[in-house]
Amino acid sequence: MLRELLLSDSVMHTIVSSILARFSQLHVDADVFVASIAEIISDIREPMTIQQQEMGREKRRQLDLKVVSLCVVEFHLMLFI
């Protein structure tokens, strides 16, 4: 159950440390605990790299405009430093 909580998107980040503390109490052997946490991290990271969506032409244009505007703001800030 703790593993499922750590993998869940609905769990707030503020309680993850409490879940990890309880999870570590269940795994007395440090090697098993580290392996379990590594597996959980791997399970969390994998979907993030797989889920990519095609971006529409207009959405891509809007994103490019935001990036350019941020670059301009950063350039102006650098001039004043």
Q: Is the pTM of the predicted complex or chain greater than 0.95?
A: no
- Residue pLDDT, tens place only, 23-75: 888 878 888 888 888 888 787 766 555 556 677 888 888 888 888 877 776 66
- The DSSP string of 7-45 is H-SSS-GGGHHHHHHHHHHH--SHHHHHHHHHHHHHHHH
CB of 3 within 8 A of CB of 42? no
What is the rounded CA–CA span in Å between residue 56 and residue 61?
9
